Amino acid sequence: MTLKFYWYPKCGTCQKAKKWLDNHEINYEAIHIVDQPPTESELKEIIEASGLPYKKFFNTSGKKYRELGLKDKLKDATEEDMLAYLASDGMLIKRPLTYDGNQATVGFKEDMFENTWK
């Protein structure tokens, strides 16, 4: 499976991650996270592959997150509720989201990319 790289082109962190992938000559499919957000089933697959809790996939510093009051809503939300929120708007998803069918990373830290994608 080709590496899927969900990103928002105006996001500085996404730009750094894309540059890292390009510099390491890693083939990937760049997917605009707002225009083509992952579906609930894709998100579930990605989250399970990452081994991280569902809450780690929320863009907690985003305007949408604050507008929807998700900080309070997520306290009692089920995994299904969280998937529905995430799939409803790409701006709610922490980015970039990178997935190859077996493993996934959320956000960008150079050492994490080194360990996962190199």
Q: Which tens digit of pLDDT belongs to each residue from 82-91?
A: 999 999 999 9
**Over residues 86-109, mean pLDDT:** 97
- Does the pTM surpass 0.85? The reply is yes
pLDDT band at 1 (very low <50, low <70, confident <90, very high): confident
Task: Look up residue 26 and give its amino acid.
Answer: I
Distance between CA atoms of residues 66 and 85, nearest Å: 13
Radius of gyration of the chain (CA): 14
**Over residues 21-26, mean pLDDT:** 97
At 115, list the tokens: 């360990």
At 30, list the tokens: 């760049």
| Residue 51 three-state SS | coil
Class of domain 3-117: alpha beta
Work out whether strand 104-106 and strand 3-7 pair parallel, antiparallel, or are unpaired. Answer: unpaired
Chain segment 31-82, per-residue pLDDT in tens: 999 999 999 999 999 999 999 999 999 999 999 999 999 999 999 999 999 9
